[in-house]
Every structure is written in structure tokens, then in C-alpha cells.
Homo-oligomer: A and B are copies of this chain.
Amino acid sequence: MTVTLADVAARAQVSPATVSRVLNGNYPVAATTRERVLRAVDELDYVLNGPASALAAATSDLVGILVNDIADPFFGIMASAIQSEIGGPGGRAGGERLAVVCNTGGSPERELTYLTLLQRQRAAAVVLTGGAMENEPHAAAVAAKLRRLGEAGTRIVLCGRPPAPETTAIALTFDNRGGGRELTEHLIGLGHRRLGYIAGPEERTTTRHRLEGHRAALAAAGIEEDPRWTVHGRYDRRAGYEATLELLRRDPSLTAVVAANDSVALGACAALRDSGLRIPDDVSVAGFDDLPFSIDAMPSLTTVRLPLAEAGARAGRIAMGREEPPPGGIATVRGELMVRGSSGVPRE
């Protein structure tokens, strides 16, 4: 029914061992023999049996990429960059690898399940992207799983995620705190004193770090923060819209709204407009990430650009062992403040 190595061997009049060696190209095979084998492969339309090969060789060519939300360009861009350094015929020398992205939907259980599945497949490497959960039992479970994966020889890279102590994971961490701080400093520099903040889900590291940066900037400027000025929500437009209305209700005198990310910021803009407020004349808005659409908003969004594609590419190369990991296994990737039309001096 299906063509096997043995069939190819028979047709090429060689032993299965030789065919295997031709296909893997890591053992001397005479040119004429190789030729003959390749022809047979072609004629029979032979396709290697991945599981069998993985079993015998005790390695696989699968590389997993875990993302929180594949529908969000933040992850899409990173995943794309990672994959481009790993998979398909895109890259490199050294055998094709199946780079696969797994969508956890931000759910801790799914994250764990995917890691187990990847462990089952004896994945060659795993890249985890985006913020981690701070929920304790889960964090411990993930760390344990990563440790076990690492012991089994799977290379692990965290991209845009805080380091995982006691594991072999290499971490490329985004400087969310620094970016958040810089952004708010910019707003304060323009003269804003009453700033609303729309944070992401409470239990994400990203949320906490960005918020900490924001607060650090306020503190440095001697601005006492009003607890009413912070609202939590999901990382999407809808949440931004609702949170903004809530913020406005709590304190109509706010002159700026800082959002957890660009999608949220867009929702905030919509809410402000729907409330009859002009941006930035009445209220300034700022986002985070600088996703491609952010420049198209009207007015275009002041935000912090994160080099998602670059970081992803680097993570991919490290996962493939094609780039030296940073010293200590940890590198911080900084963002860049992009001042655009959505922020201006406060009214009055």
C-alpha cells in the first residue's frame, strides 16, 4: 500500500541502510549509488515515515511555538518571524523542520496540554511567546514541565516572556516596565496630571510590568495616583472601549488615557469619540506595541514600539542553535517610544 524504505531499497538494488543514509546524508555513499537511490525515491514517490524515523533516531524535527492568541497580530508577527527562521524551506541548512504554532488562548490548561503534546512528540525545540500567568500553581507546573522538556533535550526559548528560573530556558524579555514608564513620562512632560490607565488582565506579567512602569513615572513626577484611574480588562478593543467609558464615569476630568496595548487604545479612542471628546485636544491616548494598524488610526497612535519581528527572529535562531544565547541566558529587549498624533498638551 504505502511505499517504504525497503521498497525503495529493492528498486535501487541496495540495502535499506543505504537508502536511509542517502536520505539523511550523514554517511559516505558513492555518487553513483546515491544517484540510483534518489531516482528510485522519485519514481516511487516515496515519503519518509516521520514517526518511524523519529522513533528510531530518538529525535524529531518538530518545533513548537506557543502563543496566547493567534488572532492577535502581536503574536502573529512574532510567530511569523520565529517560523521564518525555523521552518519550511525558508531558512537554512540542516534538514527541514516542522515549525508549528499552538494557540493556547491564554488558558493555563491548554498551555500545559500543548507542552505535554510537544513533549510526546519529542519536539526539538519550543518557543513560548507573550506574558506568563502569575497564578502560582500553574506557574510551578509550567516550570516543572519546562525542566523536564529541557532534560529531554528540547531547546526552550521564551520570547517576550519573563525568565523561568531553574530551567534551561533562554529568555528574551521585553522591557515592558521601561516602555510603560517612558510613555507615561512623555505624557507627563506634555503637562498631563490626571491620567487614566487601562490595564490588561490582572494575572499576566505583561500587565503588571507595564502598569508598574506607568506608576513609576507618576511617582517620579510626584503625582499621587488616584485608585479610580486604573481599570483592568482583556487585551482587546472591546475591553478598551468599556474601560474608557468607566474611566470617564469615574473621573471626567482625565486628560489622558494610557492603554495596555494598541488594540485597547483603539477601543479607547472609539469610546472617547462616542462620548463627544476630541483626541488629543480633549483627551490624549497612548497605546503599546505599535502594531501595524496603529499608525492608521485617526489620529495615529502614540505608542511604544516593540521589535516583535526582530525578537521573534532571534528567538527562532536561538531555538535552532544558530545563534549564541545571550550571556546568562537572559536578554532584555527594549521598546521605542513613538510619539504621534494621539497625544498632545492637555486642554485648558
A267 — which chain B residues lie within 8 A by C-beta? Answer: 296
A110 touching B90 by the CB < 8 A rule?
A: yes
Interface-located stretch among A116-124, A131-139, A223-231: A116-124
Shortest distance from the beta carbon of A1 to any chain B beta carbon, whole Å: 9
Q: Verify if A87 is at the interface (C-beta below 8 Å from B).
A: yes
Identify A119's interface contact among B47, B54, B75, B84, CB under 8 A: B47
Task: Give CA–CA (A148, B52) in the complex, Å.
Answer: 19
A120 touching B49 by the CB < 8 A rule?
A: yes
Identify A76's interface contact among B70, B83, B105, CB under 8 A: B70
Q: Mark A34-58, 1 if CB is under 8 A from B, else 0.
A: 0000000000010111111111000
B105 touching A90 by the CB < 8 A rule?
A: yes
Interface-located stretch among A93-101, A173-181, A209-217, A317-325: A93-101
Q: Verify if A102 is at the interface (C-beta below 8 Å from B).
A: yes
B88 touching A114 by the CB < 8 A rule?
A: yes
Instruction: Using CB atoms and an 8 Å cutoff, list the residues of chain A in contact with chain B.
Output: 2, 45, 47-55, 60-61, 64, 69-73, 75-77, 79-80, 83-84, 87-90, 96, 98-105, 107, 109-110, 113-114, 116-122, 148, 152, 236-237, 263, 266-267, 269-270, 292-293, 295-298
Task: Give CA–CA (A96, B119) in the complex, Å.
Answer: 13
Which chain B residue has the least Cβ–Cβ distance from A118? Answer: B98
A152 — which chain B residues lie within 8 A by C-beta? Answer: 2
A60 — which chain B residues lie within 8 A by C-beta? Answer: 51
Shortest distance from the beta carbon of A31 to any chain B beta carbon, whole Å: 25
Shortest distance from the beta carbon of A82 to any chain B beta carbon, whole Å: 9
Task: Give CA–CA (A118, B236) in the complex, Å.
Answer: 33
A120 touching B55 by the CB < 8 A rule?
A: no
Task: Give CA–CA (A119, B98) in the complex, Å.
Answer: 11
B70 touching A98 by the CB < 8 A rule?
A: no
Identify A47's interface contact among B48, B51, B120, CB under 8 A: B120
A87 — which chain B residues lie within 8 A by C-beta? Answer: 102-103, 114
A122 touching B49 by the CB < 8 A rule?
A: yes
A297 — which chain B residues lie within 8 A by C-beta? Answer: 296-298
Which chain B residue has the least Cβ–Cβ distance from A121? Answer: B50
Knowing that A52-B55, A100-B100 are A-B contacts, what are 19 other residue pairs whose CB atoms are under 8 Å apart, sorted by A's residue number?
Answer: A47-B120, A49-B55, A50-B54, A50-B121, A50-B122, A61-B117, A69-B80, A70-B83, A71-B80, A76-B76, A84-B105, A88-B109, A88-B110, A88-B117, A99-B102, A99-B103, A237-B296, A293-B296, A296-B297
Task: Give CA–CA (A50, B50) in the complex, Å.
Answer: 11
B79 touching A296 by the CB < 8 A rule?
A: no
Shortest distance from the beta carbon of A266 to any chain B beta carbon, whole Å: 5
Identify A45's interface contact among B48, B117, B148, CB under 8 A: B148
A-B contact pairs, 26 of them (CB 8 A): A47-B116, A49-B120, A50-B120, A51-B121, A69-B80, A70-B76, A71-B76, A71-B77, A73-B73, A73-B76, A80-B103, A83-B103, A87-B114, A88-B103, A88-B104, A88-B110, A88-B114, A90-B105, A90-B110, A98-B117, A98-B121, A101-B103, A266-B293, A269-B296, A293-B296, A297-B297
Shortest distance from the beta carbon of A206 to any chain B beta carbon, whole Å: 19
